[in-house]
Every structure is written in C-alpha cells, then in structure tokens.
Amino acid sequence: MKPETPVTWGHVVLVLGTAFGLVVGWFGGEWLMPKSMQGMVLGVLGGFLVAGVSSWLLRRSLPEAYSVAIIGFPTAGKTTLITSMFDEVWKGRIRRLSFKPLGESTIDRLNSDLATLKSGKPLEPTTDQDKFAYTTRVRVPRFLGNRWFKLEIGDFPGQDSRSFAKEFGKWIHKTPYFKWAVTADAFVFVVDVAKIPRPIIKDGEGGPGDEVNTDGSNYVAEISASLRAAWQHLTEHHEERGRGISRKPVVLAFAKADLLAAPVTNNPEYGSADSVGGVAPLPPAEELDAEELAKGQQYAVETFDDLVRYLDSECRRFRVVFVTSCGLHGGARVGVEKLLSWILPR
C-alpha cells in the first residue's frame, strides 16, 4: 500500500472547478453563464469541495498501513537493529518521530530486548517459525500536520547458520519469510560487518598482522549473490502484478558498523553490541573515531562495490547506511536516524 495518495486528474478537475465556481460567484459574470444557473453550479461545486475536504481529513485521521522488510542472513544483527530504532525514538533523539507499539507480543519483546542490551548481553536469535512482526503506530510530521501510519517491521527468524545453509542454501528468497517480504513498502538488506575480510592485528603486537578472515571472501560473494537474487525476485513478483517497485525505498545497511572504527584483533574478549547470539560481553556504547569510521566505511563500500552499483542502478530510492547499537556520534547511535528517515513514508 502506498504511503501517499498520488495527485490524479480528479484532484485537478476539483480544484479548477472550484476556482471557476468562485469566480462566477464573486464577479457575477453573466457573460460566463446566466444567473439562473450560477446558484446551481455553485451548489454542485460546493458539494464536491466539501466531499473532497472530508475525504482528505478522513484519510489523515485513519492510520495507513505501511510495512518494512528486514532481509539478511542469520546472526547479521537484524533484531538488534530493530530494537535500536525504537530505543532511539523513545529516548527523544529523533524528535520528529513518535513510535507507539501495538500488541502484547511487540511490547513485551521490545522491552525484554532493550533490557538485555542494557545489561551488556547480546540478543538471542529470533525463534519464530516464519517471521516476527513488530507493530507500531508511527507519527510522521507533514506540512499540513502530522500523519499516522500503522507500521509493521518484519524480522527474519534467526537460526543456526549451518541449519539455514542446509535448508535454504544461500538463497534468502526461498525462506517462508520472503513470501511476506515481497509485499513490503520498503526493504532493508543487512550486511554483517563482522564477516567482512579485514587484516587482523595480532593481540599484543600493536601492528598489522598477516592474518585475514579467510571466510570473509566467501561471505562477501554469498551475501552479494543472495541479496541480488532477492531483489530480482522482488522485481519479478511486482512486474507480474503490474506494479512498480523501483520507487520503493531500499537500504543496504552495514550492521555492527562500530567494528569499522576499531582494529580487528584475535582477542576473544572483543565483541560488538550487535553480535547476535555471541558469547563475548558487549562493550559500552561510546563515541567512535570519525576518521577511522570513515576509512572503514569506504573500505566496506569498495568491498561490496558490485552489489552497491547494481542496487543503485535498479532502485530510484537507494541508499547505503552504516548502523550500530554501541557506536555513537554526537551522543546518538550511528546511522539509525538516517535509516529511519529513508525507509519511513514521507
């Protein structure tokens, strides 16, 4: 469902007709039509105007459905990302938005997950069979007042990576969750920064080592192929039904972006707040080195250059966003506000 009602010829005729009626009524103007008809014309146009305004007000008063699909491999940090969105809004760091969670399952899960993160523990993977939908009312400011939406954010069920590979291979579009995702109004493709190949600084040596995360190269190839295939299946689904998808918001989100601002070490005590299902304690949220983060972001974009270029050429509303739950910039979580501003209805 589209977040905004497009301007149609009906709207144009209504406006022009109303303007014509006002001109007739104000100036008299028998040269336009006889006075005997002017009252009737004004009455008809006035009825159209009242009906149009009433319809517009009713549309604004009722929350409109809007859905966002979070798509990525297991343990990529999707659940933590969603929880961080709500936390940033509730803390007042994104003042233009208002989130009011709906339903017992959404309210209980959000508060439970927030308590877990604040205790320094990573979130467990989502265990729902097909998907978990976070449902909330969202207030979005508009020029002529606020607009309310009933937002549904779909979370892909987490599971062991091996069992996922055994059941679905590397293809996200084969999962039951994807059947729901194709109907979404916005899409967030999640990349796990922790699995990107980067040189390792050996613990205690203080200099760059020769070790590299060898599994990272496989991850880059597999997640790129999987997300590209997912987008192609989304496009096929919409084209078969005569619908456009190129104008829908699409984000390539690099989760656990705090790792890009820190050296990769072989110290098992190092962790990230987005390490879903990990065993390492989570570091406290702290300000990131802006220069180091910028270097890491450039490296990540270059590593996924093929995927970024492809999505950019396919989507009219595409953006790359780096997000994290424990990395701060100006006291706010890195990337969360930018992500929300792009995927929510305008």
Higher-pLDDT residue of 7 and 231 is 231
- Residue 208: the pLDDT is 47
What's the Cα-to-Cα distance from 126 to each of 3, 224, 225, 252, rounded to whole Å?
28, 23, 24, 21
pLDDT beyond 50 at 12: yes
Question: Which distant-in-sequence residues (6+ apart) come within 8 Å of 68 by Cβ?
Answer: 151, 152, 153, 154, 184, 185, 186, 187, 188, 343, 344
pTM higher than 0.75 for the full model?
A: yes
Measured over the CA atoms of residue 236, residue 241, residue 244 and residue 248, the dihedral's sign is negative
- Residue 200: the pLDDT is 59
Pure H helices in the chain:
9-27, 35-61, 78-90, 104-118, 161-168, 176-181, 214-240, 290-303, 305-314, 336-343
Sheet containing 327-329: order of strands: 286-287, 327-329, 332-333
- Residue 210: the pLDDT is 47
- List the single range of 99-103, 193-197, 198-202, 316-320 with lowest mean pLDDT: 198-202
- Residue 257: the pLDDT is 94
pLDDT beyond 90 at 229: yes
Q: Could you report the per-residue pLDDT of 267-321, keeping only the tens digit for each?
A: 434 344 344 334 456 677 889 999 999 999 999 999 999 999 999 999 999 999 9
pLDDT classification of 9: cutoffs 50, 70, 90? very low
In whole angstroms, give the CA distance from residue 134 to residue 105.
8
- Residue 279: the pLDDT is 41
- List the single range of 42-46, 114-118, 153-157, 256-260 with lowest mean pLDDT: 42-46
Q: Where are the domains of the chain?
A: 9-60, 63-343
- Residue 39: the pLDDT is 62
pLDDT beyond 60 at 226: yes
The CATH code of domain 63-343 reads 3.40.50.300
In whole angstroms, give the CA distance from residue 117 to residue 94.
20
pLDDT beyond 90 at 100: yes
pLDDT classification of 217: cutoffs 50, 70, 90? confident
Burial of 269 (0-12, 13-18, 19+ CB in 10 A): exposed
Q: Report the mean per-residue pLDDT for the chain.
A: 79
pLDDT beyond 70 at 18: no
What is the DSSP secondary structure assignment for residue 6, as one 8-state letter?
A: P
In whole angstroms, give the CA distance from residue 80 to residue 88.
12
Higher-pLDDT residue of 284 and 90 is 90
Higher-pLDDT residue of 176 and 156 is 176
